Each structure stands twice: as C-alpha cells, then as structure tokens.
Structure 1
C-alpha cells in the first residue's frame, strides 16, 4: 500500500452511519499522508470523515480504490464488499460494531495492521457472493411478503426447468458465509466456506418444498413470485427491490467475488467459533477468555505476575 512502485494508492473508506470512527480515521489519515495516498469515500460517508476524504460515486469508488477499509461491524463490512465485487481490491475491517464475524482488527490493533499492510504481511481470503439479477449479496437474499404475517408463493426453476414451489413466510437463498445467519435460524444447514454452493431454505413452510435444497456454482436458479401480490427482496438484510406478481428473480453463486485481508487466519477462525458458541451457553472459562480483547488479557497477566 505504499508508493514505492511509483504510483499513488487510493484508500477507500466505508464508515458505520452512526458509530464514532474519528480515532481510526485520524490514524488512517496519518498513514496515508506519509505514503502519498489519497483517501476517498462514498458520497454518503465522506462529509463526516473530513475535508481530505474525497466524495465519489459508487462506480468511481470501485474503479479508483486500491484498498478498502471498513469502519464498523459486519453490516458495514458487507456494504464495503458489495462496492468492489469482482475486483481484486483487498478489503479489511476495523471493528466499530458488535460481534464482527467478518471483521478482524480492533481499533487498538489498527496501527500494527497498517504497518503489516505496508510490509505485505497478510493473507487474502476470497469470499463468494450471490448475484441476484446483477446485485450482490454476501450473506443471503430473501423473498418475503410486504404485509405482516403474509405468506409468499414462489416457484423454483433451475436452468429454466420447473422443479417445485414454496408456500411459506419467506424463501432464503444463502452463501456458505450466510448459512449461519437467517438460513441457520430457519433450520437450514451450516455450509463450509470451502464448498462452492448456495442453499435455498423455506421459512415456516406450509406446503411445497419444506427441506433445504443445495445448488452448485454452475446452477442458475430462478424464483418467480406466484403470490398474486407484490413481494419484497432483501439482500443482506436490506430491502432493495420489490418483486411484482409473475416476476422472476435470478440467483446464482459468484465464486471469489472479493478478497478480505487476514492477518492471522487461525486466530480469526478461533474467535468466530467462540462467538458462534454463544448460542450454546454456558461457556467454559477458557472460551470466555477468548471474548476479552488481547490487550486486556495481557494487562491482566502482567498484574497477576507482579
């Protein structure tokens, strides 16, 4: 991320809409200044990040950013990832949110992380997404009713061939990453990130398909609204469009859609396993310790050794 190769790098910032991120922005600003890098951000974020952060459109952001830093939790990280789908741009997250399954770096760890980025001391972890009529979803795409308690009737076709239908509260299409979210809550399977697959799970099915169906990377899935009224389409939890009666929604898996920066893949995986095990309380003392930030654990160790 330095300028040793003779060209100027551009760091794209994506910030949580409410949580304070000024401390991390200051560190990144100082880092960029020492290396002649330019800072850009989507127009909605730039104004509150400082005058030296240049506002750009989503298309300009994707074209210009040579690295992306997400300042927030998983929702912010997913938004950052969607901006650079299909590009080799490295993306890393600084946790200004809650659990942060996708986010590896705490604000206290940011100076060391920036130094390691400069030295190239990191790994790139590819993530797949769903392409839903040209839009990306890294966790899931959901078809649901517009009215409370309304069911949806959805036909399923694969490569244009009709395979069945759903009558349920919602239909969830998920990636392996998103399989532990809404899909899991609906009784769907947990998919290994190493499996290039998408899963379809019905939420509270009444008739039709009532088991999860798993598709491969080459399968072109179409979900057609047969409800007689408009349905909603949510991508990664955000209502992005309506699905009119009779309209179809194309869904397929896009492998290696984005690259996440990992400084310690083993530690990140261990933390995620511990966070997921909150679903299985009570926890052992050694598991609880994994939730304590490393700097606090080290401080406690020094106090005990005195």
Structure 2
C-alpha cells in the first residue's frame, strides 16, 4: 500500500486527525493525497491532486467525518472501488467504525491488510438525463408551500400506479436506516440485495413502502400537476426545482468497499444507535440508561440528537 487518499468533512476541523495520519505516514514512508480544493487544510507533505484522480491514484481512502463524508468517499471511487476507512467525527455514524484515538492501530492494520471488506451496492440513476450514483438513497422532495410530489411508478416498464406525497425515497439496504427509515420504511439487512421505495406523508395513491428485487429497473415520472421538486442524492441536492422529467434507477452491486476491523462490534454499536433514535430523551438522559461498560466508548457528540 503506497498511498492513501484523504477525504475531509467539508466544514469540521480535521486538523487533529490529519496530524495523526500524517505522522503515521511519515514513520511508515507512505504518501498522502488530498483533493486540490483541500490543500489549505492539510500539511505541505500531503500532495494535492485533482478530485477525479484521488481515488484512482490512492490504494485506499480515509474518510474523516461522518456518514455523509463516507458516502462522498464511496461515490468518488465508484468507477474504481478502493477500500474506504471511516474515521468518526460526526454525530451518529452508522457507516464509520474508527474513533480518532483508535486511528494509529487501524492504519497499521490497514497496512498489514488485517481487515475485512464490506461490499456496498449503489443506485445508478439517470436523473432527467444526468447520470448520478447514490449509496444511501435518492429522494424526490416537495418544496415548502408548493404542493405535493406527484409521480408515477413503473417497474421493468410496467406501470404500478402513482404517488402523491411530501417526499419519495428510493434506498439501498444501507440507506434503509437513513431517510427511508425516518419516513416509515423497513429496516433491511445489509446482507440483502433489494431496493426500497418509501413515500413520506402520502396523501393518496401508493401509501406503503415497496421492496423490489435488485434485478428490476425503476422509473419515476413527475406528473404535469406535480409541485416543484428537489432531487437529493445521499442528502446532496442535485436539482432544486424540477417540474417535469423522469428518474431511472438501477441497482448496482459491489460498487463500494468499506474497511471493517471488528464486524461484530460494529453491528452491536449500530443496533444500540438505532434503539437510541426511538427514545425521546436528551443526551445526558441517554447516557444514564447505558450500562457502565458502554458509557465510555460513546462521546457526548455521538449521543447528541442528529441535526
């Protein structure tokens, strides 16, 4: 493993974590790369490269942030999947596994190839003629005050019906714990290959979540009387005022690789985090509910309600 690419949270202070990685790389004679746009946020020893070259030139990527940063790292490597190690600086963090104090050991294990790879699927989407990929979900969301998202659904060319709702969320199994879950969709095992279509606050039409096979193709078409719609990919707005057009969606397996050091511990932590989402308590109250042996690993920031 000759070089590592750094993917930084867009706004959080990553100085401490980047310093840990830079000192480790110097000791182990490994090169570090970062997007040219982020050169001012890293030491001079880190080589800036064009964003399109980061995943291509790196042997692995290190995502420093939360799940959103991790999803961005996976998307950047979708054409040439590389192992992505997630370092937790976010709040909830269902994808990231490593906390900053654990980073030196994690990097050494990464170098020694002492890890497993968790494969992730994505949704390959044609959004009104633009090709995008989403590892969590793609969502059609009404703009406040403009009415409802009204769209027809077709699966493998056969029309199923229509939706009239506040938002329409199409997710992977990984994304089933995100927007789809908040909208009332089912939790889907990450070992399952499926696509979930979940309407949020449906007014009429199809009102229940729909689970489809990964082999089926999905087409959503905005109806002429639909409200102005924003289209989000993994929470990133890619179109903020669509009033017509189609979204074609295909499931693509094995599109991303996530580094896992302790899959059992990782799943246990995620089960706990999911249970915390359904409890209406403040962070200090949540800590009191945890057994003593589980309180310390969770920082106050991890237990804060997600923004």
- State whether TM-score is above 0.5: yes
1:4 matched residue in structure 2: none
**Residue 158 (structure 2) pairs with residue 170 (structure 1):** no
Judged with a 3 Å threshold, the aligned counterparts in structure 2 of structure 1 residues 252 and 270 are, in CA distance, closer, same or farther, namely same
1:65 matched residue in structure 2: 58
- CA distance in 2 between partners of 1:100 and 1:189 (Å): 19
Task: Give TM-score scaled by structure 2 length.
Answer: 0.87
- Number of residue equivalences: 288
Q: Write the mapping of 1:259-274 to structure 2, written as runs, cut at 5 A.
A: 259-274=257-272
2:297 to 267, 290, 293: 293
Q: Give 1:36 shift.
A: 3.3
2:36 matched residue in structure 1: 43
Q: Give 1:86 shift.
A: 4.2
Q: Which ranges in structure 1 are unaligned for 5 or more consecutive residues? A: 2-8, 296-306
Q: Of the two, which has the highest radius of gyration?
A: 1
**Residue 213 (structure 2) pairs with residue 216 (structure 1):** yes
- CA distance in 1 between partners of 2:292 and 2:148 (Å): 41
- CA distance in 1 between partners of 2:144 and 2:187 (Å): 29
Q: Give 1:243 shift.
A: 6.5
2:189 matched residue in structure 1: 192
What RMSD over aligned residues (CA atoms) do the two structures have, in Å?
Answer: 2.1
Q: Which ranges in structure 2 are unaligned for 5 or more consecutive residues? A: 300-307
Q: Give 1:34 shift.
A: 3.2
- CA distance in 2 between partners of 1:279 and 1:245 (Å): 34
- CA distance in 1 between partners of 2:146 and 2:190 (Å): 33
Q: Write the mapping of 1:5-44 to structure 2, written as runs, cut at 5 A.
A: 9-44=2-37
Q: Write the mapping of 1:73-152 to structure 2, written as runs, cut at 5 A.
A: 73-133=66-126, 134-148=131-145, 150-152=147-149
**Deviates further, 31-40 or 105-114:** 31-40
Tell me if structure 2 keeps the 8 A contact 1:198–1:252. Answer: no
2:200 matched residue in structure 1: 203
Secondary structure in 1 matching 2:276:
helix
Tell me if structure 2 keeps the 8 A contact 1:274–1:290. Answer: no
- CA distance in 1 between partners of 2:119 and 2:295 (Å): 25
Tell me if structure 1 keeps the 8 A contact 2:151–2:222. Answer: yes
2:276 matched residue in structure 1: 278
Q: Give 1:126 shift.
A: 0.7
- CA distance in 1 between partners of 2:293 and 2:152 (Å): 47
Task: Give TM-score scaled by structure 1 length.
Answer: 0.87
Per-residue CA distance 1:45-78 (angstroms, 9 max, x = gap): 2321122222223321121121000111111111
**Residue 148 (structure 2) pairs with residue 155 (structure 1):** no
- CA distance in 1 between partners of 2:170 and 2:231 (Å): 11
Judged with a 3 Å threshold, the aligned counterparts in structure 2 of structure 1 residues 84 and 186 are, in CA distance, closer, same or farther, namely same
**Residue 181 (structure 2) pairs with residue 181 (structure 1):** no
